[in-house]
């Protein structure tokens, strides 16, 4: 089975018109697919309105008990159900899920190593049998950034990591492509210049760009997850603007393609 894992970021989710446009494109995306979403911008805004201020380290959210309550309400509730309802209106039979639903994704609380991330989950296991059953029943899973430890504790888990874990787990038995959609044209040399796309990144280029601080903050975990996915059998990883998703599906030049292979830079 050919399966596409498509992750959408908060910079699109937070704007209703952009989200509607993306979901319209997504509904036309060919083949079996899974949608993964976070919603950090909206979670930060709701948290601030409740006096729960966001704290980020290297693009990852520190999650204390109050923050966990906020992100669970926003990711698993408001955003997830809005997306599912919009997909149903587009005649896509979507099913909203956390990692706890059907024991889809089991995580452990991240150990403290210098930084205490709080109730943040590191993924340990994905229930691929459940995914197979859902896809074979023509249901489209919409997975949000909440997982569980199978001991009753919910955990905030990076949505890019969830997309990567789903992709790598399914790659053992299926042909899997992974797409990261956000509000930029791809990985950029200059954040302010949408035309400065880096069309291809391999491991050597990635390390060089990190050293030069061209790639930093939230892009680092995104690319770390992309390379991990490739190392574990995922066929193809793409990063780009949400509205270019169908172009990427057709193999047309857009966004940034991630490749595992090393090349001589000179």
Question: Residues marked as binding for substrate?
Answer: 39-40, 61, 156
> Based on C-alpha coordinates, what's the Rg of the chain?
17
Question: DSSP letters along 128-169, please?
Answer: HHHHHHHHHTT-EEEE-SEEE-SSS-EEE--HHHHHHHHHHH
Residues tagged in the binding site annotation: 39-40, 61, 156
Name, in order, each residue with C-beta under 8 angstroms of 42's C-beta and a sequence gap of 6 or more: 10, 13, 14, 74, 78, 79
**Helix 159-170 crosses helix 219-231 at what angle (to 10 degrees)?**
10
Contact call for residues 158 and 145 (beta carbons, < 8 A):
yes
């Amino acid at each position: 089975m050919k399966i596409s894992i498509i992750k959408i970021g908060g910079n699109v989710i937070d704007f209703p018109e952009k989200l509607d446009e993306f979901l319209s494109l997504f509904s036309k995306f060919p083949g079996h697919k899974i949608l993964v979403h976070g919603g950090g911008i909206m979670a930060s805004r709701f948290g601030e309105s409740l006096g729960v201020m966001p704290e980020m380290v290297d693009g990852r959210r520190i999650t204390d008990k109050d923050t966990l309550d906020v992100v669970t309400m926003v990711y698993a509730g408001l955003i997830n159900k809005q997306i599912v309802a919009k997909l149903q209106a587009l005649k896509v039979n979507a099913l909203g899920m956390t990692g706890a639903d059907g024991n889809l994704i089991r995580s452990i609380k991240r150990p403290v190593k210098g930084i205490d991330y709080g109730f943040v989950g590191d993924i340990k296991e994905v229930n691929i049998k459940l995914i197979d059953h859902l896809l074979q029943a023509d249901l489209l899973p919409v997975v949000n950034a909440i997982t569980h430890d199978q001991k009753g504790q919910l955990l905030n888990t990076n949505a890019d990591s969830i997309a990567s874990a789903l992709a790598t787990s399914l790659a053992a038995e299926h042909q899997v492509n992974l797409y990261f959609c956000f509000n930029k044209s791809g990985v950029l040399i200059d954040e302010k210049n949408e035309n400065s796309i880096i069309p291809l990144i391999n491991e050597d280029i990635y390390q060089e760009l990190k050293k030069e601080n061209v790639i930093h903050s939230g892009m680092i975990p995104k690319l770390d997850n992309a390379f991990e996915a490739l190392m574990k059998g995922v066929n193809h990883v793409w990063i780009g603007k949400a509205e270019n998703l169908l172009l990427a599906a057709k193999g047309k030049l857009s966004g940034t393609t991630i490749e595992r292979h090393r090349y001589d830079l000179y």
